[in-house]
């Protein structure tokens, strides 16, 4: 077990940048753990592993009907982790339908590949969000994806990179397509954990918990109504019974290009 660190900081209301190498190091180290369930690698809850499964079921029960995925849809899952959302679409996609998972942790992505080994309509690529447009094969570059999922990723993206990431989504989403964005958000002012040691995760952990208002200001900037965008749905992902933090909550937006 890693010894407890003391150099980390909790920052309220101030914008600071994360060390992206340290963030990646956290996920690479996590891959080496022996965890009860596959979903624990990216949905955590190490002290209550079943909670990750309960949250997964609750999220998919609420969100999957809203996504209304066609059987031949082209789906891009940015920060796919172990391919959790791929499990939801596995029995549904046929013909030209494809699930494309992208993650920047080689170790975590290998878990996804092994889990989906026999699924013909699945492809995986290793890339960070900032480089996704260049990292995808040429056949997937352009406005062709019917659904794009960005699930628990923006909290690890610094402000300097965030706008470019959102612009890349616009370059990849087809007309009439939908982006599902889910994030852990601060219940108050922005909260940044900068290399804080987590007893539960037994590792230093970094994340930016922006407020709901801060994200919605970004949507207005990057997905303006006068350019044919709309927020089709939004809200908390699950009820308080599945929450385990006082300072943060899980929130989602469905952004549609009309």
**Residue 32 maps to which CATH number?**
3.40.50.150
Q: What confidence category does residue 105 fall into, taking pLDDT thresholds of 50, 70 and 90?
A: very high
Residue 26 lies in a domain: yes
Check residue 2 and give its pLDDT.
42
The answer to whether residue 11 is domain-embedded is no
Q: Does a structural domain hold residue 203?
A: no
Please list, residue by residue across 13-27, b when 16 or more beta carbons sit within 10 angstroms of its beta carbon and e when fewer do.
eeeeebebeebeebb
Q: Is residue 54 part of a domain?
A: yes
How many structural domains compose the chain? Answer: 1
Task: Assess if residue 191 is contained within a domain.
Answer: no
CA atoms within 13 A on the CB side of 29: 13
Q: In this structure, is residue 65 part of a structural domain?
A: yes
Confidence grade of residue 244 (pLDDT, cut at 50, 70, 90): confident
In a domain, 178, yes or no: yes
**pLDDT tens digits, 6-57:** 468 999 999 999 999 999 999 999 999 999 999 999 999 999 999 999 999 9
Residue 184 DSSP one-character state: E
If you average pLDDT over residues 160-179, what whole number do you get? Answer: 96
Render pLDDT for 46-89 as a digit per residue (tens, 0 to 9): 999 999 999 999 999 999 999 999 999 999 999 999 999 999 99
Helix (H, G, I), strand (E, B) or coil at 121: coil
Confidence class for position 155, pLDDT limits 50, 70, 90: very high
Host domain of residue 136: 21-185+225-257
Who contacts 85 (Cβ-Cβ below 8 Å, separation ≥6)? 60, 77, 99, 149, 151
Question: CA 21, CA 252: separation in Å to the nearest integer?
Answer: 27
Beta sheet of 74-78, edge-to-edge order: 122-126, 98-103, 74-78, 145-151, 173-186, 248-257, 229-236
> Is residue 193 assigned to a domain?
no
What's the N-to-C CA distance of the chain in angstroms? 50
Q: What three-state secondary structure class fits 125? A: strand
Cα distances (Å, whole numbers) of residue 116 to 41, 88, 124 = 16, 12, 10
**Mean pLDDT value across the chain:** 94
């Amino acid at each position: 077990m890693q010894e407890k660190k003391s150099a980390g900081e909790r920052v309220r209301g101030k914008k600071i940048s994360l060390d992206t190498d340290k963030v990646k190091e956290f996920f690479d180290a996590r891959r080496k753990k022996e965890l009860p369930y596959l979903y624990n690698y990216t949905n955590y809850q190490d002290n209550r592993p079943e909670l990750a499964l309960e949250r997964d079921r609750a999220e998919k029960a609420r969100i999957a009907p809203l996504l209304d995925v066609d059987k031949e849809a082209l789906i891009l899952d940015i920060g796919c982790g172990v391919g959790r959302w791929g499990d939801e679409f596995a029995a549904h996609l046929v013909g030209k339908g494809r699930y494309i998972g992208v993650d920047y942790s080689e170790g975590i992505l290998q878990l996804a590949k092994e889990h989906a080994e026999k699924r013909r309509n699945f492809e995986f690529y290793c890339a960070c969000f900032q480089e996704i447009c260049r990292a995808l094969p040429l056949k997937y570059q352009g406005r062709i994806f019917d659904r794009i999922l960005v699930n628990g990723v923006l909290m690890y993206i610094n402000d300097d990179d965030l706008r470019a990431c959102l612009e890349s989504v616009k370059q990849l989403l087809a007309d009439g397509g939908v982006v599902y964005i889910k994030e852990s958000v601060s219940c108050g002012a922005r909260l940044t954990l900068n290399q804080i040691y987590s007893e539960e995760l037994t590792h230093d952990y970094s994340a930016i918990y922006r407020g709901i208002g801060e994200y919605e200001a970004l949507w207005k900037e990057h997905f303006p109504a006068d350019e044919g965008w709309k927020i089709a749905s939004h809200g908390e992902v699950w009820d308080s019974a599945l929450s385990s933090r006082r300072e943060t909550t899980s929130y989602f937006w469905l952004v549609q290009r009309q």
